[in-house]
Structure 1
């Protein structure tokens, strides 16, 4: 199965177009099939599995849209992604028809080889990953089958088995001790045969009592399993324990057969996996919370739905492209130049209008995502109102590192005269907040705006570089008077999430006493007092929040967790504390505050 190729299907009635597409897509491990009509394509798809289909829109007889609709109506072909190929300018209605028919994207003629290969590479890699998963599934199935055979022949191959086999009578005196038991538990048979199982000191009193109960409850046949910890001469191990209790028909006495499997490595792997899954959930939910915040704040500052759609789409695309950059570097460190080059590749920024100076800067994943949004807003504002709104306008971006602080200066020149805005828009607010606990300020000079952004952590510096070119839920179930005037401490290190939650609290009448973005800031705010309710993130810049929770509890400040982590990854001493999962539902947020405040009023 790993050697099976990835298959793409090319559908076009013009043979020359098929040859050209094939030449651009050919690569090792890719098998390309061609069809000159919709009917021929359907015949191929019914006999072969394809990971992607390039379908020409304009074909005689059955056009591309009709073929896509037929594919979506057939179970076997329904899951094949479709990229439409067309030379015609598409109206919104025709574009919508393509997506409605099941298309995932469009390629326009004349075809840009880079765009074609980039889009095809995504589906090629997805296909490879799917086949790898199939191979791993088969391997896991084979491993399970082998395990079952080993258990079935346990008694015949006890000494060679990976299990420790121990035989005891009804008072837990040992009568059998296999070589597997010696190997796993570190005690030879001679030291255990005829001795009570407790003699070795392997198991706790609780485990020994459990084994006694297994024997006492024995019927004609009884099987038991448990996970236990054993203290061997070589150290502690985690083990799966299998027990089989049999009653001798003649004497009526019971015997216990124990099979013990060392799963220490698996136990450790599961702990690591649990931590990784928790971190993944935290990262995903933080991303979703950021998207929610962007959507809602964009909606607040948009004049109409078209304006909202354009702004929201641009910000979301900036965030998505930053994620792609980080994926390419396995979420390590991306450079500021990569973010700028990405804006240039996207057509948002003209390289001839940009002058860069200063050292090469590497950014942490968190700063990469935030800076992607900041740069998007700077470029968008410059294109609408500033230097990039006229052909002669230019941008100077200078980076410098002094005293452990990174300073970025965005200077617009050559644009129309600048006047101080009557009120800051969301874009400006996002720039100021988008760098987290760092500083951002603007100087509205007549000749062009100058933004200065200072970052104190989460960056690295290389050698100097030369110059270069749906409706939301309601506002909570509690009475408005309960929340009005409520003094809230918000402990959150994601600035967009903090901004969004702050707006919801203020709209409901609450008063934000303080925003804390680090553990030390949160503890200091709790110690300062005058707080009615605290909202506590489950992780602050990679640090657990146990100390913060303990301080809030000691100060008798009620709180709830607002986190992308599940309960299992939050402080265990506060398992009964309410948890709001990111992205935050504003109705649930206000409802929790109402319930906390109601308990305060009741004096409980």
Structure 2
């Protein structure tokens, strides 16, 4: 049976009376239960919830009035309405006795069906209304539970969301403050809710004014967005703010809902991306500048086109293979052994005539590229003029680390007698100057040439502990043309580029008073030396040159940047300084430096 069924109880000791009452009261939606005694009636009332009881007054044992008294004495049955059924005539004493026992009405025998049904209908309708109210109460309770669950779920989502969710009234007083807002701004909800948003100290004044403008435009625009810099839990943060203005349909008052996403990491990532793009441009342009330098230097020392092609192609291929080695290790480190094996694989060195000894050495990208060219020149010279030009010749290549420096020894034996050259070619010059801040010594011994190369930085013995090394940043070029004894400070950490720029300067009558390859050397030279112009690299082995540029400006010495970086990656306080990007066109370099000296352009001078 249904839990909300409407149940009537009929109590009479005569079965025929019960059948008659049941027949008169029978209807859809009504459950009728019958009891033949007071005790049976009490048992049924303990099992079911009755909305009305018809009780016969005259019953053997416990009569109707006594049953009513028992019902009123029990909590479970106290509220059941009772209509007494009696064959006695109506009297005030009997009525009083019935009402005092807890009855609500009387039905007199013989029973009038219309009166019976009318009185029963009243209680049936009351029970139906009570059922409806209970059903509505249960539905409302379920709705409230679903609402509370939804609110709790929304609150959980809001608190766990990466967004800070803030709601304000029309006066920018905080109405709600999510857990995300507490995490981002470091302000607890208790210190924000009920107070002005400005008191939280999170947003700058112009952002608060913008929020007020959003609220004032409630009728015309509901969605807004902005970016701002705010005060977060960990300091200054970048934020994207999305605002929604909602109008109260009852009172028409606007409220502002803010969804705030912290974008500090994205901004930092964008800076890193920009830096990486600049670094990529720097690497490409620096490589092109090295290729240009190799080309021009090879051209200077070549008497025939075939000789130029052979030497230039060999050097270029050596550089390309070194780039391949670095690409395989994602430009982090390369093994010295890899470079040597690369020369053997290319056929420049004969592995069977090569004796090697030394520990495992890891090289930075800069040193890798430089040593690749040096080893190529050593092997080429040995094959043409030295030990490897004869079948009995051998090369002994050894290396060790002493006093924090990498010492390489290239010793040739078994070749033709060695005679010191009267003039060094580009290959020998490249070997001597190609190690940057290191040093190179050569001994032209009759039994075989001995090269000793010292490298002070950019290597490590234990490859697993290789320190992260900053790539040297692009360097500046040279300056001057045929303007007499113009003295130039050249700040450049790439030996090949420095060599090429120096040649261009000297070809046009200028003098390089100092080649500075580190920030310390550049700063000392900028402060103490006497010179007319300076060519300044934007970055030296990871160190920015702002302080050098500032020193040159204080001394009123003209200078320009020569770099693989774009303008935005160079010192910001020197946007007016000329910038030449690598690889540098020699004529453009010279024309720029002539302008710095206040001289007319070379083509104008020739035209005059």
TM-score interval, smaller chain: 0.5 to 0.7
Does residue 418 (structure 1) correspond to residue 418 (structure 2)? The answer is: yes
Report which stretch shifted further, 198-207 or 578-587. Answer: 578-587
**Per-residue deviation, 1:430:** 0.7
Whole-Å separation in 2 of the counterparts to 1:181 and 1:298: 65
The answer to whether the Cα contact below 8 Å between 1:220 and 1:247 also exists between their aligned partners in 2 is no
Whole-Å separation in 2 of the counterparts to 1:258 and 1:502: 61
Report which stretch shifted further, 193-202 or 224-233. Answer: 224-233
The equivalent residue for 1:198 is: 198
How do 1:563-582 residues align onto structure 2 when only pairs under 5 Å count? 563-582=563-582
Does residue 349 (structure 1) correspond to residue 349 (structure 2)? The answer is: yes
The equivalent residue for 1:62 is: none
Report which stretch shifted further, 258-267 or 381-390. Answer: 258-267
Does residue 163 (structure 1) correspond to residue 163 (structure 2)? The answer is: yes
The equivalent residue for 2:4 is: none
How do 1:111-126 residues align onto structure 2 when only pairs under 5 Å count? none
Cα–Cα, structure 1 residues 257 and 460, in superposed 2: closer, same or farther, change >3 Å?
A: closer
**Per-residue deviation, 1:359:** 4.0
Query: What secondary structure, in the 3-state scheme, does the structure 1 residue paired with 2:598 have?
Result: helix
How do 1:103-502 residues align onto structure 2 when only pairs under 5 Å count? 162-168=162-168, 171-175=171-175, 177-178=177-178, 180-187=180-187, 189=189, 191-212=191-212, 220-221=220-221, 224-233=224-233, 235-244=235-244, 256-461=256-461, 483-502=483-502
Give the aligned length.
Answer: 434
**Per-residue deviation, 1:458:** 2.6
**Per-residue deviation, 1:385:** 1.6
The equivalent residue for 1:531 is: 531
Whole-Å separation in 2 of the counterparts to 1:172 and 1:591: 62
Q: Highest Rg: 1 or 2? A: 2
The answer to whether the Cα contact below 8 Å between 1:230 and 1:237 also exists between their aligned partners in 2 is yes
Q: Compute the RMSD of aligned alpha carbons.
A: 3.5
Report which stretch shifted further, 551-560 or 592-601. Answer: 592-601
Cα–Cα, structure 1 residues 219 and 494, in superposed 2: closer, same or farther, change >3 Å?
A: farther
Unaligned ranges ≥5, structure 1: 1-153, 464-475
CA deviation profile, 1:398-447 (whole Å, cap 9, x unmatched): 33433333332222222223333342211111111111121113222333
Whole-Å separation in 1 of the counterparts to 2:425 and 2:533: 30
**Per-residue deviation, 1:303:** 2.2
**Per-residue deviation, 1:599:** 9.0
**Per-residue deviation, 1:493:** 0.5
The answer to whether the Cα contact below 8 Å between 1:560 and 1:578 also exists between their aligned partners in 2 is yes
The answer to whether the Cα contact below 8 Å between 1:215 and 1:254 also exists between their aligned partners in 2 is yes
Unaligned ranges ≥5, structure 2: 1-153, 464-476, 602-608
**Per-residue deviation, 1:170:** 5.7
The answer to whether the Cα contact below 8 Å between 1:220 and 1:246 also exists between their aligned partners in 2 is no
Query: What secondary structure, in the 3-state scheme, does the structure 2 residue paired with 1:560 have?
Result: strand
Cα–Cα, structure 1 residues 162 and 519, in superposed 2: closer, same or farther, change >3 Å?
A: closer
The answer to whether the Cα contact below 8 Å between 1:286 and 1:582 also exists between their aligned partners in 2 is yes
Cα–Cα, structure 1 residues 579 and 206, in superposed 2: closer, same or farther, change >3 Å?
A: farther
Query: What secondary structure, in the 3-state scheme, does the structure 2 residue paired with 1:598 have?
Result: coil
The answer to whether the Cα contact below 8 Å between 1:219 and 1:246 also exists between their aligned partners in 2 is no
Report which stretch shifted further, 164-173 or 300-309. Answer: 164-173
The equivalent residue for 2:511 is: 511
Report which stretch shifted further, 422-431 or 251-260. Answer: 251-260
Does residue 545 (structure 1) correspond to residue 545 (structure 2)? The answer is: yes
The answer to whether the Cα contact below 8 Å between 2:481 and 2:590 also exists between their aligned partners in 1 is no
Whole-Å separation in 2 of the counterparts to 1:534 and 1:214: 55
The answer to whether the Cα contact below 8 Å between 1:182 and 1:189 also exists between their aligned partners in 2 is yes
Cα–Cα, structure 1 residues 484 and 218, in superposed 2: closer, same or farther, change >3 Å?
A: farther
The alignment's TM-score, normalised by the length of structure 2, stands at: 0.64
Cα–Cα, structure 1 residues 215 and 488, in superposed 2: closer, same or farther, change >3 Å?
A: farther
CA deviation profile, 1:128-158 (whole Å, cap 9, x unmatched): xxxxxxxxxxxxxxxxxxxxxxxxxx99986
The equivalent residue for 2:144 is: none
**Per-residue deviation, 1:526:** 0.9
